[in-house]
Amino acid sequence: MSSMYKNTTRLALFCLMMLPTQYAYSGQALSHQRFNTSTVIDMTQVPTFKLIGTATMKWLWFDIYQATVLTPTGTYEPNQWPLSLNLLYKKSITAEQLIQSTIDEWERQSIDYKAQWVSKLGDIWPDVAPQDEIILYVDEVGISHFFYNSKFIGALKDPLFSPAFTAIWLSDNTLKPALRNQLIGLKP
């Protein structure tokens, strides 16, 4: 199995653990209140979300990251939760660069974002290096949970954040329509 496939499968397994009881392997539901910065998720023996699509973000001839979108059903419906967006980085990027790219895309798409979102992202997002993973898990009520290399790093509890953030990749107005089409399972 390729390393990329193993990483994607591992991320999918991880995301399922964040689901309510009806989806989780164990009989006990995990809730965002139980996560803290010491939380590490054991991803063994857990059923997976179904892959919708995957795509690689490139800039010139450089691979920036591989994005993967998963849901319990394996289909994409705009702003329907739960959903997992997994980003496997291929190059080093500072947290400041990640945040500025997010702001730039919100502004380009005319998305009304909140200063509190930017502040919270600044508190929780790390610098990334090749093979680092950031996972966004949006739970069934639209709360965004972030994980870095399988460790919980923080949540944004404003349900308006989730559609604004996922719009960067999944809206009709995305900067990279071919990447979006791959992520939502359409032909590029």
Domains of the chain: 3-183 (3.50.70.10)
- The DSSP symbol for 149 reads T
Question: Which tokens sit at 10?
Answer: 């591992």
Kindly indicate the confidence band of residue 61, based on its pLDDT and cuts at 50, 70 and 90.
confident
Q: Which amino acid is at 85?
A: L
* Distance (Å, whole) CA 19 – CA 94: 30
Q: What is the pLDDT of residue 58?
A: 85
Q: Is 49 helix (H, G, I), strand (E, B) or coil?
A: coil
- pLDDT cut 90: percent of the chain above it: 67
Q: What is the pLDDT of residue 44?
A: 33
Q: What is the pLDDT of residue 181?
A: 94
Is the overall model pTM greater than 0.85, yes or no? Answer: no
Residue whose C-alpha is closest to residue 54's, from 178, 148, 175? 178
